[in-house]
Amino acid sequence: AQSVTQLDSHVSVSEGTPVLLRCNYSSSYSPSLFWYVQHPNKGLQLLLKYTSAATLVKGINGFEAEFKKSETSFHLTKPSAHMSDAAEYFCVVSDHRGSTLGRLYFGRGTQLTVWP
């Protein structure tokens, strides 16, 4: 069975400081993992994805995530937060990797607040 645990419901940082959003997963298969961002009243935008290639994944807007199988983690980081990064972030695992059909399993989300 697949599941995702986002360890923090809220994270607050000052502009220019590092961001760390934590995610642990459980999967019966070799997982595909994603981070999505959602700004208020908007849809979800894909930040980055892991699909069994390099374990350090680079995404858009300076975000990165590292897949650690031994820790079943996929934490999202950014060296320097910007005000525009304030949003809800979802860690997501998919089943049936390589298949079109299936479903995504969402974490509960982490609300990122960036202070000036």
Q: What tokens appear for 3 in the block?
A: 């599941």
Q: Does 58 bind other proteins (CB under 8 A)?
A: no
Q: Which is nearer to other proteins, 1 or 116 (CB)?
A: 1
**Tokens 């509960």 map to which residue?**
108
The region of 12-20, 35-43, 62-70, 78-86 touching other proteins under the rule CB under 8 A is 35-43
Q: Does 60 bind other proteins (CB under 8 A)?
A: no
Q: Does 28 bind other proteins (CB under 8 A)?
A: no
Q: Which of 30, 17, 21, 38 is nearest to 76 (CA)?
A: 21
Q: Taking the alpha carbons of 89, 76, 73, 101 in that order, is the dihedral positive or negative?
A: positive
Which phi and psi (to 5°) does residue 49 adopt? Answer: -145, 150
Q: Which is nearer to other proteins, 16 or 98 (CB)?
A: 98
Q: Does 86 bind other proteins (CB under 8 A)?
A: no
- 114 vs 116: CA distance, rounded Å: 7
Q: Which residues bind other proteins (CB under 8 A)?
A: 32, 34, 36, 41-46, 49, 51, 90, 94-104, 106-109
